[in-house]
């Protein structure tokens, strides 16, 4: 076995060096950061060292053309990530958290590069109507690769020998996007037998989980006449607890505050007569490994029937991807998008649904409780995306 160390300014460059030197069968043994230069360890430049190994091959490999950086990065994503992830497990918690963050950044870089390669669509060569729709999608922040996929599908039916009416082409475009969004899946109840739903709302700070959960509670209690209980585990913000208690008093439903996963389990047990139990969780930084582990402990204790991830439509798409990836260990069931009234671009919704293959559940369009929440309407979202500015 050949073992070698590679040093670079960042993890991405180090992994590329490993791939180019050892090939796709390389195994990552260790990775660390260190300071280079400086004075007694101060003011030095942070470098990354990766130790890799590969089995000796008695048969020299056939030389291949020197790969491009994009091709190497794309292949490295497939072959190196799994090995890298397996081998960082034994590192102490603090270093492991740092490496996980770097791994997350690296995944994002590889995903972007892969998306660009998959797009491979020269908009200038498209027929004029499709060029216009391509620009509309990009202006609405639809991912380049996804826009290319949609338009390539339309190209198969585009009659090159005769003109096509713009409104018909637009209808076909909308139908393609509706297939991606699919039918929404709101919270529902069985008509017979056990029908209690225990639904947790999770998501990063600032997306409006507490207001969203109040809107859902009011809708199901006042409009649908369901027996509803609220439980909040968001004890990090006193204002959030008081806000939810106030909503509970106005709606006329009980609100319990819990401080541990065990208290959450006991609190759910006190509401066996309820049709719906809604759980408000603390806004967690998706970059904090310890906080994510604590959230998972609460969800495991609750034995929830559904987990709704709440995202703000105002969040940058790259940040949404980071958030989605950070919740990869949690069995998300549906997505809720908030603050649609605070943005003018909606392509990220299409991107996220396409990437996660999760169903939309609800969207919110304002601060008013309970009015400004509605079951997600894919047709309305598509109309907002293809609307010309």
Per-residue pLDDT tens over the stretch 203-249: 998 899 999 999 999 999 999 999 999 999 987 777 778 889 999 99
Under 8 Å between Cβ of 105 and 141:
no
- 37 pLDDT above the threshold of 60: yes
- 67 pLDDT above the threshold of 60: no
Please tell me the least confidently modeled range out of 4-8, 289-293, 366-370: 289-293
* Three-state DSSP class for residue 62: coil
The pLDDT assigned to 266 comes to 96
- 62 pLDDT above the threshold of 90: no
E-state strands within the chain: 2-8, 27-36, 45-54, 197-202, 228-232, 255-257, 276-280, 306-312, 334-338, 359-364, 373-375
- 74 pLDDT above the threshold of 60: no
* Three-state DSSP class for residue 15: helix
Contact partners, residue 93, CB within 8 Å, separation at least 6: 289
- 9 pLDDT above the threshold of 50: yes
Segment 152-172 shows an average pLDDT of 70
- 318 pLDDT above the threshold of 60: yes
The pLDDT assigned to 185 comes to 95
pLDDT of 249-277, one tens digit each? 999 999 999 999 999 999 999 999 999 99
Segment 159-165 shows an average pLDDT of 53
Q: How many CA atoms lie within 13 A of 78 on its CB side?
A: 9
DSSP-derived letter for residue 143 is -
The token pair that represents 330 in the structure block:
């949690």
Cross-strand partners of 322: none
The pLDDT assigned to 86 comes to 46
Please tell me the least confidently modeled range out of 174-188, 198-212, 287-301, 335-349: 287-301
């Amino acid at each position: 076995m050949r073992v070698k160390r590679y040093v670079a300014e960042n993890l991405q460059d180090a992994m590329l060096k490993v791939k180019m030197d050892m090939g796709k069968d390389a195994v990552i043994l260790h990775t660390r950061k260190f300071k280079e230069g400086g004075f007694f360890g101060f003011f030095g430049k942070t470098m990354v060292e990766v130790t890799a190994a590969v089995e000796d091959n008695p048969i020299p490999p056939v030389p291949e053309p020197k790969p491009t950086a994009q091709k190497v990065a794309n292949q490295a994503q497939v072959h190196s990530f799994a090995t890298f992830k397996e081998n960082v497990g034994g590192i102490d918690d603090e270093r492991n958290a740092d490496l996980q963050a770097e791994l997350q950044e690296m995944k994002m870089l590889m995903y972007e590069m892969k998306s660009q390669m998959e797009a491979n669509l020269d908009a200038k060569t498209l027929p004029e109507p499709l060029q216009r729709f391509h620009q509309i999608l990009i202006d609405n922040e639809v991912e380049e690769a996804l826009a290319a996929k949609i338009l390539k599908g339309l190209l198969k039916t585009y009659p090159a020998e005769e003109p096509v009416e713009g409104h018909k082409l637009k209808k076909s475009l909308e139908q393609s996007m509706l297939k991606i969004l699919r039918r929404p899946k709101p919270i529902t109840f069985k008509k017979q037998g056990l029908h209690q739903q225990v639904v947790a709302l999770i998501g990063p700070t600032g997306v409006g989980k507490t207001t969203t959960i109040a809107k859902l509670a009011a809708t199901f209690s006042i409009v649908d006449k369901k027996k509803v209980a609220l439980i909040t585990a968001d004890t990090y913000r006193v204002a959030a607890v008081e806000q939810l208690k106030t909503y509970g008093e106005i709606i006329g439903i009980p609100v319990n505050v819990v401080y541990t996963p065990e208290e959450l389990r006991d609190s759910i047990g006190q509401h066996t007569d309820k049709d719906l139990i809604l759980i408000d969780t603390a806004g967690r930084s998706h970059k904090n490994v310890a906080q994510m582990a604590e959230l998972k402990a609460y969800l495991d204790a609750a034995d929830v029937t559904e987990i709704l991830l709440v995202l703000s439509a105002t969040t940058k798409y790259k940040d949404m991807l980071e958030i989605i990836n950070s919740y990869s260990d949690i069995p998300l069931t549906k997505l809720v998008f908030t603050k649609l009234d605070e943005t003018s671009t909606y392509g990220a919704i299409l991107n996220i649904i396409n990437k996660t293959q999760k169903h939309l559940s609800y969207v919110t369009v304002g601060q008013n409780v309970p009015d400004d929440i509605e079951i997600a309407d894919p047709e309305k979202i598509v109309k907002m995306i293809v609307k010309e500015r």
